[in-house]
Amino acid sequence: MFLGLWEAGHYLTPASARKFFPSIGEVGSALYVLFAERNFLQDVSVSCWRIFISFMAASAIAVPIGILMGSFGNIRALFNPTLTAWRYLPAASFIPLLLVWFGPTDQAKIALLFIGVIFFLISLVLDNTTAIQKEFVEAGLTMGASRRTILTGIVVPAALPAIFDSMRNMIAVSWTYLVIAEIVGAQDGIGAVMMRAGRFLNVDVIMAGIVTIGALGLLTDLIFRGICRALFPWNVERRS
């Protein structure tokens, strides 16, 4: 459907402007050239690496904090004002600061992705944690479970599938920030390649970049779903 519209759009564009709206075939060959001759794989892996590192770091901090905030009112009261304030700050506004601090380095990009994801992820995990069925916790209490057992044995397993869903959604946001980060002062990465192509009006290359990101996004999503199925067999819908 989408591909059909795309192809139609290409042929409906006046011939003089078709350069700015390449066909699927042209984008395909641009992709081939990128991978075969310009070492695009290197850029792709650099981008993936940045996403991976920043997202792992953000999750490693956001998930425990979110769960603790969701479980204990006093911890929530302690963190919430800070969290709310940070969430309203657009991550992109940190770009100048990060460039001054780190220069056009990998650290600057990873830090931006980290900032872009962590505060939202904390509040999502917080919601996931408070949304668990309260009778699970009460059942634990009446069985004589300690607070610690209730946290690790009941709250965490009950909330984890929803938390993984939140992570899956946030990694998509991560890709958005990646392109922003790489457009501003980067030598490598998918965003940098697209930005350079833009300077020479190579629309086919820009679109090739977009297609690549789309494909990678899809792949991440599939991986996440696979992990969820493996980790939470009890949560898998039985097909009948």
Partner 1 sequence: MNIVAKDFTPVTTVPPLKASRISKEYLGGTFKALDDVSFELQENQITAFVGPSGCGKTTMLRIIAGLEYPTRGRLEVFGKNVQGPGPDRGMIFQAYTSFPWLTAMQNVEYGMKILKVPAAERRERTMNFLKLVHLEKFADSYPRSLSGGMKQRVALARTLAQNPAIILMDEPFGALDAQVRWEMQELMIELIEREKKTVVAITHDIEEAIYLADRIIFFSRQPGRIKADIPLTFKGGRRIKQKEELLELPGYAELERQLFAMMREEIK
Considering only 42, 152, 187, 235, the residue that binds partner 1 (CB under 8 A) is 235
In 3D space, the residue among 54, 7, 31 whose CA is nearest the CA of residue 181 turns out to be 54
183 binds partner 1 (CB under 8 A): no
Look-up: residue for tokens 């922003």? 180
Minimum CB distance to partner 1 smaller for 88 or for 234: 234
The one segment of 9-17, 90-98, 135-143, 218-226 that binds partner 1 by CB under 8 A: 135-143
Site string for partner 1, 90-129 (x = CB under 8 A): ----------------------------------------
Look-up: residue for tokens 């042929």? 11
DSSP secondary structure, 34-81, as one string: HHHHS-HHHHHHHHHHHHHHHHHHHHHHHHHHHHHHHH-HHHHHHHHH
Site string for partner 1, 38-77 (x = CB under 8 A): ----------------------------------------
| Contact criterion met (CB below 8 Å) for 109 and 181 | yes
Query: What's the distance, CA 76 to chain centroid?
Result: 25
Least spacing, CB of residue 6 vs partner 1, in Å: 41
In 3D space, the residue among 105, 106, 152, 102 whose CA is nearest the CA of residue 129 turns out to be 152
CA 26 to CA 32: how far, in whole Å?
10
CA 216 to CA 45: how far, in whole Å?
11
205-234 residues in contact with partner 1 (CB under 8 A) are 232-234
Minimum CB distance to partner 1 smaller for 73 or for 144: 144
162 binds partner 1 (CB under 8 A): no
Considering only 36, 60, 78, 139, the residue that binds partner 1 (CB under 8 A) is 139
- Residues that bind partner 1 in the complex, under the rule CB under 8 A: 133, 135-136, 138-139, 141-145, 149, 153-154, 157-158, 232-235, 238
